[in-house]
Every structure is written in C-alpha cells, then in structure tokens.
A and B are shown apart, each in its own frame.
Chain A
Amino acid sequence: MHIPDGFLSTNTWVATWVFSAGGLGFCIKKTKEILKDKMVPLMGVMSAFIFAAQMLNFPVIGGTSGHLLGGVLAAALLGPWAGAIVIACVLAVQCLIFQDGGLTALGANIFNMSIIGTIGGYFVYRLIAKAVGGDKGVMAGVAIAAWLSVVIASSACAIELALSGTSPLQVALPAMAGVHALIGIGEAIISCLVIGFVIKARPDLVYNYEEE
C-alpha cells in the first residue's frame, strides 16, 4: 500500500503533503500537552516497537502472509495523536531506509495510514467501545476499527491513484479494497489479541482505559 514516486500527479502529492504536515503539526501540539518532554524518548521507543512489530509476518488465507500495520493498535495504546505521530515516523523510516513508498508520495502515504487510518480508526474504536461497554467492547472496537482502517486507507490510496489519472477508480477501488479486506482480517485478529493481553497485564498503559 506504500505508493512509490511517479504514481501520483503533482496536484495530488502536493495536496496530501500539505494535509499531512498540517495534521501532524496538530498531533504534535496535542501530544506535547499530554506528555511534555517525556514525549521524545517515549515516542521514539514506541516507533521502534511498531516498526519491529511490522517485521513479524503472520499467515493470511491461501498461503500468503501479511504483516501488521499497527495504526489502530498504536492509537488504542497511545491515543490518536501520539499514535499518528508514531505511524508517520515509521512510514518515514520505511520510505528512507527501505524505499517502501516514495519521497514525494510520503505525504499521501502518511495521509492514508496515519491521518485517516490511525486517527479515523481511533474514533471508530471509541465509538464501538462506548456502545458495547467493558473489556469486550474495547476488544471488539479495536478489531472492527483495525479492519476498517486497513480497508479505508487502501481505498484512499485507490482514490488518490484515480485522481492522478494512474488507474481508473472502478478498477483500482475494488481491487485495493478487496485485497485489503482480506489483509485486514489478520490485522483485526492480531490487534484485538494484543490489546486483550495488555488490558490483562498492564491496563494502565492503555490510553483512556481507566475511564470506563
């Protein structure tokens, strides 16, 4: 899902860069209010954690394997703003070190996975967690939000490709959303199990958990 350079038209990549930069600026402001100068070391180590977690492959249907994206997981554990920063840092490192996603397309990739996927996913998760209530609500919320965030982020990617004239929407959208609807199942299961474990082991580390 990491868009390389050359796939997006200038309008698209410049616009998504502007949106992402603005969104991340807001996230930094919010996170600084909560964490103060603890923010840098904690966010750095958390980015390293998400990065390491993404290296772990798990089997998806039909012999293929997928890896965790971790957007909703990061948001559920650290809160939406800190989660978005962590995912953005991971995407930046993937772009720079592993060339997974292009430099000009980095704005679009951050927009899809960090702004829409992570922050959007977090609010879906809260909504479901509130509606269902209890630990079950948290786990169900994380599972559904994780699946949705993967599908929505890949749909946003398809829409950006269509806006750039790279591939027609009626093909790109079902293809991207369809493939990621499968990948999202793994994401949902793993995210849900991890959050279930952390709730049992260290509930104080789950963002906003005590309020329930």
Chain B
Amino acid sequence: MHHFYIDEYSELKSPLHRFDPRVKIITFFSFILFVIFTSPHSYFTFLLYGCVLCALIGLSRIPWRFVLVHSLVIIPFVLMVAVFIPFLKKGQIAGAYSFGSINLTITYDGIAVFWNILVKSYLSIVCVILMMASTKFTHFLRALENMRIPNIFTMILSFMYRYVFVIADELMEMRQAKEARSIGGTKWFHTKVLANMLGVLFIRAYEKGESVYLAMCARGFQGAIKTIDRLKISGFDIMFSCIIFAVLISIKIFAG
C-alpha cells in the first residue's frame, strides 16, 4: 500500500541532521518565540528571519519542494479565519469597494493584523518542518523524554509511531476491497459500510493492543521501556546552537 512518510528525509547527512535533538528542539522553539514576539511593523526583521530559515533549509539538504508543499497546510485556516480580517477591523480606511449592494472597506489596522498572523504563522511552520524533517522520530521522542516530558506521553507516541502504518494499511486494504466490490448504492449505504469498516478496525486495533501488551509482558515489561541508545551533546551542537542564537539576537537588536 502507498503511504505517507513520517520522517522521510531524516537519514540525510547535514549539520542540521547531526544536531542533537534536545538542543535542536530548544533552538527551534526559541526561534518560533523570537518570531511571534516580533512587532508586526518590523518588516525587515521578518525578511531576515526568512533568510536565516532559507539558509538552514539549504544547509539541511531537505528538498525545497518538500518544505514548500508542507508549509501550505496553513492555507485553509488562513482562508477561513484570517482573510476577512482586513475588512472587519475598524480604523483608518485604506480602500473601499462596492459590489452591488455590498460595501467592503479595508482598513490599515485590518491589513496589519492580517500580515502579522500570516507572516508569523508561515515562519513558525517552516521552523517546525525543518526541525521535524531533520530528526528521526524515535530520536525526537528520546529527546522529549530527556527533557522531562512525562514519559507516558513519549511511550504512547512511540507506540503510535510503530502501529499507525499497520493500522492505516488495514484501513486502506478494507477500503480497496470495498471499492472493488460495491458499485452503485445510495450514499447512506456507503456511509454505513464506511462506519462498519471503522468499527471492525477499532476491534482489530484493540485486540492488537492487547496482544502486544501480552507479548511485552512475556518479555519482562514492567511499565517502562529501557533503551541502550544514549544521546550525547557534543561541542558541535553547542557551537551550532550558539551561532543560530547569536544571529537571532543580533537580528532582534539591529533590525528591531
């Protein structure tokens, strides 16, 4: 079956991939904070942040297309929520249009708010894409665990990572089987079949969860997963992180 990939480009060789996941998480999370705490009118600052991100993408060797395609996820939300903002804020009027009986006025305040959320959400999303695409998901979870995120979450997420493909595979097979056989029929019929498929999938998944648990018990599971793979922060990690922070802080100081 054809699948989406969770960490398709995590095996590339680049400084960003070598970066220790813990330091990487802290660095990129700070990057997002830098972005969202920038005043909406400092256009030049946003441009510089964008340049830093472009440089990092170039450095990471992750295909530009991949970053671009993934960053378009915010579009539906922007369309639904943000696109009306320029018309709704009160303030100095930038332009007025009338379409028949509908009068639309665009205000400068509205445009400022729109620009603010658009640029911030876009830069932040590119940060997250870069962070996740250059890290193996298992390493990412290990890093979270070391950063004192309750290990119940990291363990659940690691199980989810292991089983999501298995279960998605079963669902796709069921759907393929259904599409191959059921032709015609009302919409209600198809909805019902779809729901029954999900019911079957739930029961199978639940039984799988139980048998996985029993298999783990048989192998000595006592509520915690122990691994021998250790993360190590090297001089390179500290240096790389310092460079990014130095760039961010100097952008903050000199461009405002």
Q: Which residues in A have some Cβ–Cβ distance to B below 8 Å?
A: 1-7, 10, 25, 28, 32, 36-49, 51-53, 55-56, 58-59, 68, 77, 85, 89-90, 92-93, 95-100, 102-104, 161, 165-168, 171-172, 175-176, 179, 189-190, 193-194, 196-198, 201-202, 205
- The reply to whether A40 and B194 form a contact with Cβ atoms under 8 Å apart is no
In-complex Cβ contact of B159 among A7, A25, A40 (8 A): A40
Which of under 10, 10 to 19, 20 to 34, or 35 or more describes the interface residues of B? Answer: 35 or more
Chain A residues whose C-beta falls within 8 Å of the C-beta of B73 in the assembled complex: 98-100
B44 lies within 8 A of chain A by Cβ? no
CA distance A134 to B10 in the complex (A): 51
B23 lies within 8 A of chain A by Cβ? no
In-complex Cβ contact of A41 among B6, B89, B120, B213 (8 A): B213
User: Which residues of B170-212 have CB atoms within 8 Å of chain A's CB atoms?
Assistant: 170-171, 175, 187, 191-192, 194-203, 205-206, 208-210, 212
Q: Across the two chains, which residue of chain A brings its CB closest to B28?
A: A103
In-complex Cβ contact of A190 among B121, B125, B195 (8 A): B195
- The reply to whether B84 and A167 form a contact with Cβ atoms under 8 Å apart is yes
Q: Across the two chains, which residue of chain A brings its CB closest to B158?
A: A44
Instruction: Tally the A-B contacts, defined by beta carbons under 8 Å.
Output: 225
- Whole-angstrom distance from the CB of B155 to the nearest CB of chain A? 5
CA distance A25 to B150 in the complex (A): 9
Please list the 5 inter-chain residue pairs (A to B) with the smallest Cβ-Cβ separation, ordered nearest first. Answer: A44-B159, A6-B120, A197-B199, A193-B195, A5-B124
CA distance A104 to B28 in the complex (A): 12
Q: Across the two chains, which residue of chain B brings its CB closest to A164?
A: B117
- The reply to whether A99 and B191 form a contact with Cβ atoms under 8 Å apart is no
B56 lies within 8 A of chain A by Cβ? no
- The reply to whether A166 and B70 form a contact with Cβ atoms under 8 Å apart is no
In-complex Cβ contact of B199 among A42, A90, A189, A198 (8 A): A198
Given contacts A97-B6, A104-B36, contact A167 B85 (CB under 8 A): yes
- The reply to whether A44 and B81 form a contact with Cβ atoms under 8 Å apart is no
- The reply to whether B222 and A167 form a contact with Cβ atoms under 8 Å apart is no
In-complex Cβ contact of A166 among B82, B195, B201 (8 A): B82
User: Which residues of B26-47 have CB atoms within 8 Å of chain A's CB atoms?
Assistant: 29, 32-33, 35-37
In-complex Cβ contact of A5 among B84, B121, B163 (8 A): B121
- The reply to whether A48 and B167 form a contact with Cβ atoms under 8 Å apart is yes
Chain B residues whose C-beta falls within 8 Å of the C-beta of A39 in the assembled complex: 152
- The reply to whether B156 and A194 form a contact with Cβ atoms under 8 Å apart is no
CA distance A43 to B209 in the complex (A): 8
CA distance A97 to B36 in the complex (A): 21
- The reply to whether A38 and B213 form a contact with Cβ atoms under 8 Å apart is yes
